[in-house]
Amino acid sequence: MSALALDRQGWLKPHATVTLAPSPNCDKRPRGVEPTLLVIHNISLPPGQFGGPEIVDFFQNKLDYDSHPWLDRLCGVTVSAHFLVRRDGQVVQFVSTDERAWHAGVSSFKGRERCNDFSIGIELEGTDTEPYTDEQYETLQSLTRALRARYPLSAVWGHEHIAPQRKTDPGPAFQWRRYARESQWLLRELPPLA
């Protein structure tokens, strides 16, 4: 896979694996705040189903809640992430990395509240328990390198680590040590590993 790169506005440059799908669910970061934290999530809509349009539609406020009984519980929810990495390694970008995506919710990182202010959110298409694909790890490592080249990122944690009472993703299926090795992210910058 050739390297991913960001343009001056915080969007991924054209690439065979990249789709841009801007979400309205974002706003400005606080003045003078740059992202220093990378947050890894997972998502599948409906749960456990992959490859459909529902995730993109959800982040763009276009979800057909009647298409599946489970989706009705998301009615009125407005969220986003900066990126989605599909099972085949394709990446969808929803929000410029210069802006604040609404991915973390009530959260805290080392005593600092409101993680959306200073983080970049990456959703992996998956579940807590189903293994992520080789293509996803490959894309994630390329994306990590592109983000570290642009921003002073100092840590990467899971949603489960910044919102432990509410969230469980990316879950036990995510191989933190593999991600650290392949992305050349130092282990000391990862959450505590069991």
Catalytic residue positions?
Answer: 123
| Fold adopted by 18-189 | Lysozyme-like (3.40.80)
Question: pLDDT tens-digit profile of 17-56?
Answer: 999 999 999 999 999 999 999 999 999 999 999 999 999 9
The SS3 of residue 120 is strand
Q: Which residues contact 89 (CB under 8 A, 6 or more apart)?
A: 1, 17, 133, 135, 136, 138, 139
Per-residue pLDDT of the chain (194 residues; tens, 9 = 90+): 679 999 999 999 999 999 999 999 999 999 999 999 999 999 999 999 999 999 999 999 999 999 999 999 999 999 999 999 999 999 999 999 999 999 999 999 999 999 999 999 999 999 999 999 999 999 999 999 999 999 999 999 999 999 999 999 999 999 998 998 877 765 556 776 65
- The pTM (predicted TM-score) of the whole model is 0.95
Number of Cβ within 10 Å of residue 21's Cβ equals 16
Query: 173-183 b/e with 16+ CB inside 10 Å = b?
Result: ebebeebbebb
Query: What is the domain partition of the chain in residue ranges?
Result: 18-189
* Cα atoms in the Cβ-side hemisphere of radius 13 Å centred on 182: 16
Tracing tokens 């293994």 back to the chain, one arrives at: 131
